[in-house]
Amino acid sequence: MSANYRDLREFVSLLDREGELHRIKAEVSSELEITEITDCVSKAPGGGKALLFENVNDSSFPVITNAFGSERRMSLALGHESLDDLGKRLSSLLEMNPPTTLREKLGLLPELLSLAKCLPKVKRMARPPCQEVVLEGEDVDLGMLPVLRCWPNDGGRFITLPAVFTKSLRGGKRNVGMYRMQVFDKNTTGMHWHIHKDGNHYFNEYRKAGERMEVAVAIGTDPAVTYAATAPMPQGMDEMLLAGFIRGAPVELVKCKTVDMEVPATAEFILEGYIDPEEKRIEGPFGDHTGYYSLQGEYPVFHVTAITHRKDAIYSATVVGRPPMEDCYMAKATERIFLPPLRKIVPEIIDYWMPWEGVFHNIVVVAIAKEYPLQARKVMSALWGSGQMSFAKMILVVDDATLLDKPALLLRRVQDRFDPWSDLVLTEGILDVLDHSASCPLYGGKLGIDATQRMAGEPPRGERAFHCSQSEEILSYLKMLDPSFATCRIVGPTARNPLVLIGLRKGNKSSRYLISKLEGANELMRQGVLLLFDDIDLSNDSLVLWKAFNNVDPLRDVSLDKDGLIIDATKKGTVDGFVREWPDEIEMSRDIKEKVRIRWEELGLKDLL
């Protein structure tokens, strides 16, 4: 396999030949309809197929979605049968030792020459593919692009798969990131880069200097470039070098028409322009990868001075929402590819797993080779201080890597081994911008769980084990305490720590009030670890995990006393003393759902699910 695709369309052709692409010839709308179709297909077993919408009713350009939305397509995109294979390639590069002898230097020449071939190259072309059509000044009109309005409560249409090129004011280092862009009008968009991202770091340089920041945006790049724009590269490292490493060939760049930037020569679309560091505009809301709407906020404004594109350009987009969706497979690639660099920082890590329900930044399960007391806590501290891992809200440490692909066995191991009074680590740190559960934006509680085997030198776990009644008996007892207790389910009733899931109809009652009902109820507290939810379908494991990882701020919502552990994963409001706006969950409107359902056969989707 090879990832050396000249452009997006070469990858699309391969997907077609491999049976991984579904072409939709019927007319569709970029206003919600493409999202609903993509959402349904991407949630099919294995991620469904890539979708090429050939007839979009408000644009002359076709739209591709879900191109990376399966393990198979992600492997094809990055040119390896297994994503771990690419990680091993990266590992061999990182493990190169400096040569000490002439023989060692000569032995390294093939590796160094191979690496040199990955460096991006700026080429002179009379008419590069991405500039077959050039629109400047008054001819610029973002309305020509089939930009999606993804979800009913979105603040507008959003460009969702852009590779955003910026340069540092100091030294001119290039950064390529992926930041959503809300289209405001014919020639301006928002630039939603988060406070922790390199794009924002560079923006602050221009803001402090009072200088205009030039920006270029590539849409519809070859797969390696698209992936590299999402990768958690160390600050100052050029993502185009990573793309070249994946491709095994350099990314060819060409000069822009109106700004001093270089962009991929074979991109489908290029947006050129600038950001005034003193100008901001309200952007959002946006149905985000967390499964919730990210809220409105002030972000920089991107002024488009030129649009260039291929004559028969393909518009590339992604749709994000409650997992699993296309971005989950891109995140899985990052998990596998960046394991070797992570092990360079924390060498005792054997492997790790980031469940989809944790939306990348809420939970990481780490397997270590344990050698000394409290090593699990050392690993937690190391991860909370390392790059993208610093955003992890919860870290679970185990000492058996075989459990990482066996979720049911992993949960049972934790339930049988976990001692709430000695294995919990509660602390505070930075959080992803999109975390809505914390009382303050950008930082909040962190939870660590040490589920490794005790060893000599560590205090033993307590001997206490919980006895568990039937769920019907527990629910009956709960209803006597308060009618707000609505449903109950027991996970692992024979485990040392049964997990009791309780659904609540809170109404105008606070979580604190309802928990107080439980704290004095010793009959109940002997049942196990209590996890409180709103009145949801507790039989849906994925839903339960998604709610638990998204809605808990450990410092506020984890209660441990002499009787046991209670975790509150309910929605918080003013009655709970929560003053931030709690975002709505993403849900498609009924009329769009019905419209797509009626057209299912016409769209050729009957056999895809």
Shared domain check, 519 and 443: no
288 is catalytic: yes
Shared domain check, 367 and 480: no
The answer to whether residue 604 is domain-embedded is no
Shared domain check, 446 and 348: yes
- The strand ranges marked E within 142-248 are 158-159, 162-167, 174-177, 181-182, 188-190, 213-219
Shared domain check, 348 and 262: no
Cα–Cα distances (Å) from 457 to 368, 371, 379, 454, in that order, read 18, 11, 18, 9
Residue 463: pLDDT band (50, 70, 90) is: confident
pLDDT of residue 105: 45
pLDDT of residue 107: 54
pLDDT of residue 96: 46
The answer to whether residue 37 is domain-embedded is yes
112 pLDDT higher than 50: no
Beta strands 363-368 and 394-398, pairing class: parallel
Residue 248: pLDDT band (50, 70, 90) is: confident
Residue 108: pLDDT band (50, 70, 90) is: very low
Last residue of a domain, one of 316, 347, 378: 316
Total domains in the chain come to 3
pLDDT of residue 563: 79
261-272 tens-digit pLDDT: 999 999 999 999
Last residue of a domain, one of 281, 316, 351: 316
Distance CA(404)–CA(401), nearest Å, equals 6
Question: Model pTM?
Answer: 0.92
Residue 304: which domain range?
8-81+117-316
- Tokens for 422, please give them: 């000695």
Q: Give the residue carrying structure tokens 């059509």.
A: 133
pLDDT of residue 378: 97
Distance CA(319)–CA(160), nearest Å, equals 7
pLDDT greater at residue 136 or residue 360: 136
The answer to whether residue 36 is domain-embedded is yes
Shared domain check, 146 and 33: yes
Shared domain check, 510 and 437: no
160-169 tens-digit pLDDT: 999 999 999 9
98 pLDDT higher than 50: no
The answer to whether residue 94 is domain-embedded is no
Shared domain check, 286 and 339: no
CATH code where residue 536 lies: 3.40.1670.10
What residues contact residue 285 under an 8 Å CB cut-off, 6+ apart? 153, 154, 155, 293, 294, 295, 296, 583
Shared domain check, 261 and 126: yes
Shared domain check, 220 and 172: yes
pLDDT of residue 526: 63
- Tokens for 1, please give them: 């396999």
Among the ranges given (13-22, 78-87, 150-159), the one the predictor scored with the smallest mean pLDDT: 78-87
352-389 tens-digit pLDDT: 999 999 998 999 999 999 999 999 999 999 999 988 89
Residue by residue, DSSP assigns 218-254 as EES--HHHHHHHHS-PPTT--HHHHHHHHHTSPPEEE
Asked if 252 and 5 touch (Cβ cutoff 8 Å), the reply is no
Shared domain check, 271 and 366: no
The answer to whether residue 332 is domain-embedded is yes
Most confident of 90-104, 409-423, 457-471: 409-423
CATH code where residue 221 lies: 2.30.110.10
Last residue of a domain, one of 282, 316, 350: 316
238 pLDDT higher than 70: yes
Neighbours of 341 (CB within 10 A): 18
State the catalytic residue, choosing from 7, 154, 288, 568.
288
Shared domain check, 189 and 141: yes
The answer to whether residue 337 is domain-embedded is yes
pLDDT of residue 344: 86
Shared domain check, 438 and 335: yes
24-59 tens-digit pLDDT: 999 999 999 999 999 999 999 999 999 999 999 989
- Percent of the residues in the chain that have a pLDDT greater than 90, as a whole number: 78
The answer to whether residue 102 is domain-embedded is no
pLDDT of residue 399: 97
Nearest to 370 by CA among 411, 401, 339, 392: 401
The answer to whether residue 607 is domain-embedded is no
Distance CA(303)–CA(155), nearest Å, equals 19
